[in-house]
Structure 1
Amino acid sequence: MVRTPLTPEERERGERLGALLREARGPRSMVEIAAVSGLSPETLRKIETGRAPTPAFFTVAALAGALGLSMDEIATACSPMPA
């Protein structure tokens, strides 16, 4: 399967998502948040660093629950920036 390259907007959105998750995680460890959300620490690390800029909806929902974020907060933080 050939994956289409990400657009600059998709990469930027992934970076904003990662920054939001890192901020919401605060002093808690990646291992702790990954365990609570049912993900591997490696998956969380990839999302937080922007290496996995388009995680699945259910992955984002699990992280939102573990971090006390609403999906609305995430959607607002990751929406396209005005030109």
Structure 2
Amino acid sequence: MVRLPLTPAEVERGQRLGALLRRARGERSMLLTALDAGVSPETLRKIESGRIATPAFPTIAAIADVLGISLDAVWSEINKSDDGTALAPSGRTPRERLAS
């Protein structure tokens, strides 16, 4: 299976996700957080650092649950543009359209 390169928007969302999880974890140990979520500490470290920009949904759901973050809050945070407007899943603003 060939994995396609990530788009800049996907990389940016991964960085936002990592920052959100780091903030939510606070002083809590990465090891305990990972173990409580059922993921490896290495996986959590890579997600928090943005090296895994598109982690599996169950992984994020488990980590968010352990940290007490709603999935709605995660979705809202990672899909903001730099100016605070919401992005569509494609990484474009909702009103932006492709020219044909």
Q: Does 1:5 align with 2:5?
A: yes
* Greater share of helix: 1
For the residue of structure 1 that corresponds to 2:69, the secondary structure is coil
Q: Which residue of 2 aligns with 1:39?
A: 39
Q: Which residue of 2 aligns with 1:30?
A: 30
More RCO (CA 8 Å, sep 6+): 1
Root-mean-square deviation over aligned CA pairs = 0.9
Percent sequence identity over aligned pairs: 59
The gaps in structure 1 that reach 5 residues or longer are none
Aligned length: 83
- Tell me the alpha carbon deviations over residues 32-63 of structure 1, each in whole angstroms, 9 at most, x when there is no partner: 10011000000000000000010001000000
Q: Choose 1 or 2 for highest CA Rg.
A: 2
Q: Which residue of 2 aligns with 1:77?
A: 77
The Cα shift of 1:28 comes to: 0.6
Q: Does 1:61 align with 2:61?
A: yes
Please give the TM-score of this superposition, normalised by the length of structure 2. 0.80
- Stretches of 4+ aligned residues off by more than 4 angstroms: none
Please give the TM-score of this superposition, normalised by the length of structure 1. 0.96
The gaps in structure 2 that reach 5 residues or longer are 86-92, 94-100
What amino acid is the match of 1:56?
A
Q: Which residue of 1 aligns with 2:90?
A: none
